[in-house]
A and B are shown apart, each in its own frame.
Chain A
Amino acid sequence: MPTTYPLEPKRTKATPWRRNGAISRAKKRGAVALTKDAPASAAAHAVDLCKTYGSGQATVHALDGVDVTFDRGRFTAVMGPSGSGKSTLMHCMAGLDRPTSGHTYVGDLDVGSLDDKALTQMRRDRIGFVFQSFNLVPTLTAGENITLPVDLAGEKVDQGWFDYLVGQLGIADRLAHRPSEMSGGQQQRCACARALINRPDLVFADEPTGNLDSNSTSELLGFLRRSVDEFGQSIVMVTHDPRGAAFADRVVFLADGRVVDQLDEPTADSVLERVRKLGT
Chain B
Amino acid sequence: MWNVTIKGLLAHKLRLALTALAIVLGVTFIAGTLVLTDTLHNTFNTLFGTIYQNVDFQVRGVAQFNSTGPGGAPVRNPIPESVLARVRAVPGVGVAEGEIQGYAQYIDKNGKAVTTGGAPTLGVSFDPNHELSALRLVSGHGPNTANQVVMDVGTAQKYGFAVGDHVRILLQGPTRTFTITGLARFGTANNLAGATLAAFNLPTAQRLMGDVGKLDAINVAVASGANKDQVQHTIAGALPQGVEVVTGQTVVNEATSQINSNLGIFSTALLVFAFIALFVGGFTILNTFSIIVGQRTRELALLRIVGASRRQVFAGVLLEAAIVGLVASLIGLGLGVAAAVGLEKLLSGLGFTLPSGSVVFAARTVIVAIVVGVGVTVVSAISPARRAVRIAPVAAVSEQQTEDEISFRRRFTWGAVITVAGVAALAAGLAKPAIQLVGVGAFLIFIGVARLAPAVARPMSSVIGRPLARLLGTSGKLGRENSMRSPRRTAQTASALMVGLALVSAIAVFGASLSRSVTSTIENAISANLVITSTAKGQQAGFSNTVRPTAAAVPGVKATSTVYQDQFLVEDSVQNLTGVSTATLSQTVILDMTAGSSSALAEGQLLIDNNTADSKHWTVGAAVPVRFALTGPTTMRIGGIFKANALVGKYLVGSGFFLTHFSNELPVALLVATNGSSTTESAVKQALIGYPNLKIQTKAEFEQSQQAQVNQLLTLIYALLGLAVIIALIGIVNTLVLSVFERTHEIGLLRAVGMKRRQIRAMIRSESVILAVFGAVIGIIVGTGLGIALTSALRSQGLNELAIPTPSLLIFLVLAALLGLVAASWPARRAAKLDVLAAIAAE
Contact = CB atoms under 8 A, between A and B. Distances in A.
Interface of A: 91, 96-97, 116-117, 120-121, 123-125, 129, 131, 134-140, 144, 148-149, 151-154, 180, 194
A152 B474 contact: yes
Given A148-B474, A152-B474, A154-B473, A120 B751 contact: yes
Given A123-B752, A194-B753, 14 more contacts: A97-B837, A129-B753, A137-B478, A137-B750, A139-B482, A144-B477, A148-B750, A148-B754, A149-B753, A151-B473, A152-B753, A152-B754, A152-B756, A154-B473
Task: Among B482, B756, B757, find the residue whose CB has the most chain A CB atoms closer than 10 A.
Answer: B756
Interface string B730-760: 0000000000000001100111111111010
A149 B482 contact: no
Contact of A96 (B473, B745, B752): B752
Interface in B806-843: 836-837, 840
A124 B754 contact: yes
B238 to A, nearest CB: 91
A125 B481 contact: no
Nearest to B483: A139
A123 B754 contact: yes
Task: Among A131, A137, A149, A180, find the residue whose CB has the most chain B CB atoms closer than 10 A.
Answer: A137
A140 B840 CA distance: 18
Interface string B473-514: 110011001101100000000000000000000000000000
Nearest to B757: A116
Interface in B371-404: 402
B580 to A, nearest CB: 70
Contacts of A97: 837
- Is chain A's binding surface mostly helix, strand, loop or mixed? helix
B749 A135 contact: yes
Contacts of A124: 753-755
Nearest to A125: B754
A137 B759 CA distance: 15
A151 B757 CA distance: 15
Contacts of B477: 144, 151
Interface string B752-788: 1111110100000000000000000000000000000
B687 to A, nearest CB: 74
A11 to B, nearest CB: 17
Interface of B: 402, 473-474, 477-478, 481-482, 484-485, 745-746, 749-757, 759, 836-837, 840
Given A134-B745, A148-B474, A152-B759, A121 B754 contact: yes
Q: Which 9 A-B pairs have the closest CB atoms?
A: A124-B754, A139-B481, A151-B474, A96-B837, A123-B754, A149-B754, A120-B756, A97-B837, A134-B745
Contacts of B755: 120, 124, 152
Contact of B754 (A120, A134, A139): A120
14 contacts: A91-B837, A116-B757, A120-B751, A120-B755, A120-B757, A131-B752, A137-B478, A137-B746, A137-B750, A138-B746, A148-B474, A148-B754, A151-B477, A152-B750
A149 B481 CA distance: 17
A104 B595 CA distance: 99
A137 B474 CA distance: 12
Contacts of A194: 753
A124 B473 CA distance: 16
A131 B473 contact: no
Contacts of A180: 402
Nearest to B482: A139
Contacts of B478: 137, 139-140
A136 B484 CA distance: 17
Contacts of B751: 120, 123
A85 to B, nearest CB: 14
Contact of B840 (A96, A138, A148): A96
B745 to A, nearest CB: 5
Nearest to A138: B746
Nearest to B750: A137
A120 B749 CA distance: 12
A123 B753 contact: yes
Contacts of A139: 478, 481-482, 484-485
Nearest to A123: B754
Contacts of A153: 754
A148 B840 CA distance: 17
A143 B651 CA distance: 76
A140 B481 contact: yes
A116 B760 CA distance: 13
A165 to B, nearest CB: 15
A97 B751 CA distance: 13
A116 B757 CA distance: 9
A194 B478 CA distance: 17
A154 B477 CA distance: 13
A153 B757 CA distance: 13
A121 B753 CA distance: 9
Given A148-B474, A152-B759, A131 B840 contact: yes
Nearest to B480: A139
A153 B746 CA distance: 18
A120 B481 CA distance: 23
Contacts of A121: 754, 756
Contacts of A96: 752, 836-837, 840
A65 B753 CA distance: 28
Contact of B752 (A125, A129, A138, A151): A129
Contacts of A138: 485, 746
Contacts of B757: 116-117, 120
A37 to B, nearest CB: 28
Task: Among A96, A131, A153, A180, find the residue whose CB has the most chain B CB atoms closer than 10 A.
Answer: A96
B43 to A, nearest CB: 59
A150 to B, nearest CB: 9
Contact of B753 (A91, A116, A148): A148
Contacts of B484: 139
Nearest to B755: A152
Contact of B749 (A91, A116, A117, A137): A137
Contacts of B837: 91, 96-97
A134 B749 contact: yes
Contacts of A148: 474, 750, 753-754
Contacts of A120: 751, 754-757
Contacts of B749: 131, 134-137
Contacts of A149: 753-754
Contacts of A134: 745-746, 749, 840
A166 B473 CA distance: 23
Nearest to B832: A116
B828 to A, nearest CB: 16
Contact of A117 (B753, B756, B840): B756
Nearest to A153: B754
Task: Among B474, B478, B484, B757, find the residue whose CB has the most chain A CB atoms closer than 10 A.
Answer: B474
Nearest to B402: A180
Task: Among B402, B484, B755, B757, find the residue whose CB has the most chain A CB atoms closer than 10 A.
Answer: B755
Task: Among B402, B751, B754, B836, find the residue whose CB has the most chain A CB atoms closer than 10 A.
Answer: B754
B485 to A, nearest CB: 6
Contacts of B756: 117, 120-121, 152
Nearest to A137: B746
Task: Among B473, B474, B753, B840, find the residue whose CB has the most chain A CB atoms closer than 10 A.
Answer: B753
Contacts of B745: 134
A212 B473 CA distance: 33
Contacts of A116: 757
